[in-house]
Copies of this chain bind each other. A is one copy, B any other.
Amino acid sequence: MSPKKISKGLNREEFIENLSYDSVIFGFNGEQLKILILEYHNTGLFALPGGFVRRNESLDDAVKRGLKERTGLDHIYLEQFHTFGGLKRSDARAMRRILEKNGLDIKDHEWMLDRFLSIAYYALINYEKVVPIPDALSDSINWYAIDELPPLMMDHRQIVATALEVLRNNLEKKLVGMNLLPSKFTMKQLQRVYEVILGEDLRRTTFQRRLLGMNILDRHEKLFQGKAHKAPYLYSFKSSNTDNIKQL
């Protein structure tokens, strides 16, 4: 979890206590699956973007609010996948260090050192449309390939692992590609999305036949890439599948 607006006085009464959320924000750069990771000022500590829930806002709204602040995007595909409630997951020492390095009074923020349960969400976004923005306590937010993550705080490594597992299970059901790719894409790009999520190579011909057979794609003009070979068609998801753009 990552507190926000501390400098403006993040005060205990405003938020539900002992509760935070964390978000695993997936993007696809055409080749790799990546997620957004925050680095806290002068601490060498890396964490998932997260935040707290206001007393008068719904959980989903809280997460959407945080996501909007980190990515500038509205209407993001969001899915809640697990609540982490272990006793040992919180790390008061790391939290204290983050507060100190940000020049904040520990006494005012003692509640942040307490135990937290955290509700985890994953988001799927169009990588190209985002310029990530760090939060108040962090000096950077960057994309990291899913298999090249820095060491993460607390149980965030576990949260990412669970997110990936759930994403894998939802791959077929939820038309995941729709939310990770630009609106028009080649069959190869779509296949690549499937491959990085499943972590295995797929047979080109079978994949193509299967996806076309599902009757969820529209074919458009060819994409001339300036390469010395046949140009692929561009495809898009049929608009009748728009109901799969779940945005909570």
- Interface-located stretch among A14-22, A137-145, A200-208, A225-233: A14-22
User: What is the bound-complex CA distance between A83 and B58, given in angstroms?
Assistant: 11
Known: A19-B18, A117-B19. A58 touches B80 (CB 8 A): no
CB interface residues, A 68-93, toward B, < 8 Å: 80, 82-87
The interface bits of chain A over 17-56 (1 if a CB of B lies within 8 angstroms of the residue's CB, else 0) are 1110000000000000000000000000000000001011
Shortest Cβ distance from A60 into chain B, in angstroms?
Answer: 7
Complex CA distance for A47 and B241, rounded to whole angstroms: 36
Out of B82, B85, B87, name the residue touching A56 (CB < 8 Å). Answer: B87
Q: Is A167 close to B, CB under 8 A?
A: no
Q: Does A245 contact B (CB under 8 A)?
A: no
Do residues B58 and A86 form an inter-chain contact, with CB atoms below 8 A?
yes
Q: How many residues of A contact B (CB 8 A)?
A: 24
Q: Which residue of B lies closest to A82 (CB)?
A: B80
Q: Are the CB atoms of B56 and A119 closer together than 8 Å? A: no
Chain B residues, Cβ within 8 Å of A221: none
A117 to chain B: closest residue by CB: B59
Whether A147 sits at the interface, judged by CB under 8 Å, is no
Beta-carbon nearest neighbor of A114 in chain B: B55
Are A83 and B55 in contact, with the CB atoms below 8 A? Answer: no
- Nearest CB to that of A87 among chain B residues? B58
Which residue of the partner chain, among B60, B82, B84, B87, contacts A57 with CB atoms under 8 Å?
A: B87
Chain A contacts to B: CB under 8 angstroms? 16-19, 53, 55-60, 62, 80, 82-87, 115, 117, 119, 169, 173
Q: Which 5 A-B pairs have the closest CB atoms?
A: A59-B85, A83-B83, A58-B87, A16-B18, A58-B86
8 contacts between A and B (CB under 8 A): A16-B17, A19-B117, A57-B87, A59-B86, A60-B85, A80-B82, A83-B119, A85-B119
Other A-B pairs beyond A55-B115, A58-B86, A59-B83, 12, CB < 8 Å: A17-B18, A19-B117, A53-B85, A57-B87, A59-B84, A59-B85, A59-B86, A59-B117, A80-B83, A83-B119, A117-B119, A169-B173
